Amino acid sequence: MQEFMLIFRHENAVGQVSPEQIQQWMKQTMDWIGGIAAQNKFVRGDGLPFDNARVVHHNKMVTNGPFGEIKETLGGYIVVKADSVDEAVEFAKGSPVLQGEGNTVEVRKVARGDGIH
């Protein structure tokens, strides 16, 4: 079994939805993750809030951000166990994040320190 990261990308996320919509989306997300966990395939996950974020540039300059005004933001991720990338993609297809127009879920294999499996 391999691990895959499902990365949630939101297009124009900030200021576009009501607190009620966010609450509904969070419940749907917890239910979706619960379904993966019930299969013993959920590993971990976290949201990525904007507060206290910094960007370090190639020239070592540090700026505040990223900010929600940018076209696309990273909203968070989960890591799942799957037998193949195709199985991980099937998990991703069920993500409530995809209800938002332009939103995506990127699926990437996790490479461990002992090499790519």
Q: What are the tens digits of pLDDT across the range 39-61?
A: 999 999 988 877 778 888 889 99
Structure tokens belonging to residue 65: 């951000």
pTM score, whole prediction: 0.81
For residue 25, the model assigns a pLDDT of: 85
Q: How many separate domains does the chain show? A: 1
For residue 87, which amino acid is it?
A: E
Q: Which residue segment(s) compose the domain that 57 sits in?
A: 2-109
Q: Is residue 116 part of a domain?
A: no
Whether 115 has a pLDDT exceeding 60, the answer reads no
Those residues whose C-beta lies under 8 Å from the C-beta of residue 113, and which sit 6 or more positions away, are none
Q: Is residue 114 part of a domain?
A: no
Please give the C-alpha separations between residue 88 and each of 37, 81, 110, in angstroms, as whole numbers: 13, 8, 12
**Host H or E run for residue 30:** helix 19-38
Q: The domain that contains 10 carries what CATH number?
A: 3.30.70.1060
Q: How confident is the model at residue 87 (pLDDT cuts 50, 70, 90)?
A: very high
Give residue for tokens 């959920």: 42
Give the span between the Cα atoms of 54 and 44, in whole angstroms.
23
For 6-27, what is each residue's pLDDT tens digit? 999 887 655 566 788 878 888 9
For residue 81, the model assigns a pLDDT of: 97
For residue 69, the model assigns a pLDDT of: 55
For residue 22, the model assigns a pLDDT of: 78
Mean predicted confidence (pLDDT) in 102-115: 85
Q: Is residue 19 part of a domain?
A: yes
